[in-house]
Structures are given as structure tokens and as C-alpha cells.
Amino acid sequence: MSDNRSTGAAPPTALLPTKLYIPPARTDLVQRRHLTNRLNEGMQRRLTLISAPAGFGKTTLLGEWIPTSSRCVTWVSLDKGDNDAIRFWTYVIAALQMLRSDLGKKTQGLLNSPQPPTFETILTSLVNEIAAFPDVFALVLDDYHVIEAPPIHEALAFLLEHLPRNMHVIITSRADPALPLARLRAQREMTELRAHDLRFTLAESAAFLNEVMKIGIEEKDIAALDQRTEGWIAGLQLAALSMQGRDDVSAFIKAFTGDDRYILDYLIEEVFRRQPEHIQNFLLQTSILERLCGSLCDAILITDHESRITEPQAVIRNPQFVTSNSQAMLEHLERANLFIVPLDDKRQWYRYHHLFADLLRFRLQQQKTG
């Protein structure tokens, strides 16, 4: 069997080779064997979905798992440009050719033909070539949340439906992909790792802060910070950066909120600014609520609209929210993993992650006083 880091031929020169590089395993990490064990168990199914907000260690977990996996693993790091279907599948085939240089060669010819056939024909060819490959392997599609093109979702769904048993697909994403997840879940063909699985336990937070980050703080302070960050790995790391050089760590932790400069910068750049304006507005206006449900959010948005129309210079950018279904928006935020925490199993009550709520309220106050 091939080495799990893959040792095939170099990718085509027209492509960016770095998009096919498997991230090296980090030495400064907290071992998470219970999660790598779940990844190993999931190899008998078609799909592993690792879906969580930014900073929950999705890629880092795979970097820990891959060197221990008995499977060959090949990798594609996706970006916005991969929303072109030809480009997307060209990269997938290039990743397969990192396992063996001629794997997918016939399908590549179909993609490059002057008049390519339908994607069903192209994917049928790819399935047949994969089925003839002698090794078992996993294909990682990293950062799949950047893919928005329906034809790619449809083609990938076709591949998953007809996936040869020697292949497994792993998707990392900040949002649930537009794939038939409910069907795969019902068929027991999908392993899911989500934010509640990836967040650090108290013991892992202690190991991270004192062994990896070398902060050296007491148990009570670790517990307080773990509760504040809710096990969010990036939040703990950014808090550790803020604590460096401070004499009174306990006082810092008591005052630690989402307006800490490192947390603020991260959440604004990686989460808030990446959202369309109407979602930003929804997040800001509803951030005053400790608990959210559709009717409460509707009431907040209507009140905000009425207060704005009394201001001569006010511009109502998104008046559709006055009569929109906030429940649908809350469900969208949950699917998008936008730091929203469900409080029941009926999709009725939610809350924002503590630090994200702090950030939103800070931005809202800036907006009102600016």
C-alpha cells in the first residue's frame, strides 16, 4: 500500500501544487486520540464531514490523524476560484494522481475535450477509474465552504452516491455543504464531527495553556477561561497571546471578553466581515438578546425598523427583514456554523457563543455611537 502521505507524480504545471500539499503534523498540539479514533472508525462509510466555525482545529485534527492512518490520503485545499466546475474536478483528479500518475487520466481527457460531455458521464468515468485502483484511500476536500456553485454540489453528490468502496471522502467546512446530508446520515454512510465534538475539554484546555502555550496558570483560572471560550481553540490561543507578560492573569481572565483586541480582530476578519450585509445587520440587532427564537428576533427587528424611520438621515438597507422569517434566518445561521448554539433539539431556541455575542454587542455600540 502507498504511504499515507502519497508519493505519486507531480501535479500538472498549470495548477498550483501547494493546493495539493498535505499540511504537516504539528508537534505543539494536544493529542486528541478520541477524535482520531472516530476518524478511523468512519473510514468504512462514504463521507466524513468536519463542520465547525473558524478556529475549531479542523485542519489541525486531520494533520494529527493522517500520519497514523492506514489509508493513503490525498488532499485539495479549496479556494473561491474552484467554483468553476472544470477547475474543481481538474484539481480533484490532480489530487488522485498524487496517488498514481495515471489515475483519472481518461476522465481528465474528457474534462479537457473541446466539447466536454455531461458531468454524469465525466463522473461515471471517474468512478470506474477509481474502482480499478488497487489501494484504499481518502480524499480530503479542505475548506469546502468556499464552494457555492450548484453544479459542483450536484456532481459531488453523484460521486458520493456511487462512491467505490476503496474511496472515502473527507470534507472540512465552516458551514454545512449543500449535499444530501440527511440521506447519508439516515443510511449511516456519514461520520460527523461538529463544534461540540471539536471544542476542548477542560483537561485539553489545561494541557493546551500550560503545556503547549507555557502560560502556567492555576486550575480555577483555566476553568474560568475554558467556560468563557466554551472550548473554542482559537479563542484559547488568542487569550494566551493576550496573557503573555501580564502579572495578574486572574484579573485578566475575569475581564476577558470578545472585545479583547486579538479576539476582536480574529472574529471580525474571519467571521463577521465574510457575511453579507443583511446577515451582519441581523447578527448585530439580535445580539442584545441572551436567548434567541424566531418571534423574539422578529420583534427586535421591527422595533429597530420603527426607531430608524424617525431619523431623517436613516437608511434602511434591508427592510425585508421587518417582515421576514427570523426563524429561517436562525436555522441558516446554525447550518452556517456562525457561532450560534442550539438550546434544544427542535430548532426553536438558540444563543450566540459568548465571545461572539461580546463582539457583536461591541460593534453594535460602535455603530450607535459612531
Residues 359 and 283 in one domain: yes
Domain assignment present for 12: no
In contact, 163 and 48? CB cutoff 8 Å: no
Domain assignment present for 6: no
* Cα gap 98→22, rounded to integer Å: 11
Q: Residue 1's pLDDT is what?
A: 40
Domain assignment present for 293: yes
CATH number, domain with residue 137 = 3.40.50.300
In contact, 110 and 91? CB cutoff 8 Å: no
Q: Which of 9, 7, 28 is nearest to 73 (CA)?
A: 7
* Cα gap 48→189, rounded to integer Å: 9
Residues 80 and 215 in one domain: no
Residues 328 and 288 in one domain: yes
Q: Which residue has the cell 447578527?
A: 283
Q: Which is it for strands 350-352 and 340-342: parallel, antiparallel or unpaired?
A: antiparallel
Q: Residue 4's pLDDT is what?
A: 52
Q: Which residue has the cell 479542523?
A: 58
Instruction: Tell me how many helices (H) and strands (E) the chain has.
Output: 17, 7
What is residue 91's DSSP assignment?
A: H
Residues 128 and 177 in one domain: yes
Residues 183 and 328 in one domain: no
Domain assignment present for 5: no
Domain final residue pick, 157, 180, 198: 198
Whole-angstrom CA distances from 325 to 55, 286, 316 are 30, 14, 18
H or E stretch including 192?
strand 190-194
pTM, 2 dp: 0.84
Residues 33 and 165 in one domain: yes
Residues 29 and 129 in one domain: yes
Q: Which residues lie below 8 Å from residue 290, measured CB to CB, with a gap of 6+?
A: 351
Domain assignment present for 3: no
Please tell me whether residue 292 adopts helix, strand or coil conformation. Answer: strand
Residues 279 and 363 in one domain: yes
Q: Residue 240's pLDDT is what?
A: 87
Question: Average pLDDT by consecutive 10-residue portion of the chain (370 residues)?
Answer: 47 77 83 95 96 94 92 95 95 96 95 90 96 97 97 97 97 96 97 96 93 88 92 90 81 85 89 92 94 92 57 40 73 92 89 92 85
H or E stretch including 51?
strand 47-51
Whole-angstrom CA distances from 148 to 53, 95, 143, 251, 328 are 17, 21, 12, 44, 19
Whole-angstrom CA distances from 155 to 110, 152, 190, 269 are 15, 5, 18, 31
* Cα gap 262→237, rounded to integer Å: 10
Q: For residue 176, what are the domain limits?
A: 17-198
In contact, 239 and 260? CB cutoff 8 Å: yes
Residues 224 and 345 in one domain: no
Q: What share of the chain is helix, strand, coil (3-state, %, to 5)?
A: 55, 10, 35
Residues 176 and 250 in one domain: no
Residues 215 and 293 in one domain: no
Domain final residue pick, 198, 229, 246: 198
Domains: count for the chain: 3
Q: What angle do CA 6, 10, 13 make, to 5 degrees?
A: 145
Q: Which residues lie below 8 Å from residue 199, measured CB to CB, with a gap of 6+?
A: 56, 230, 231, 232, 233
Domain final residue pick, 174, 198, 222: 198
Q: Which residue has the cell 495515471?
A: 102
Residue 57 carries which side chain, given as an amino acid letter? G
DSSP secondary structure letters along 220-239: HHHHHHHHHHTT-HHHHHHH
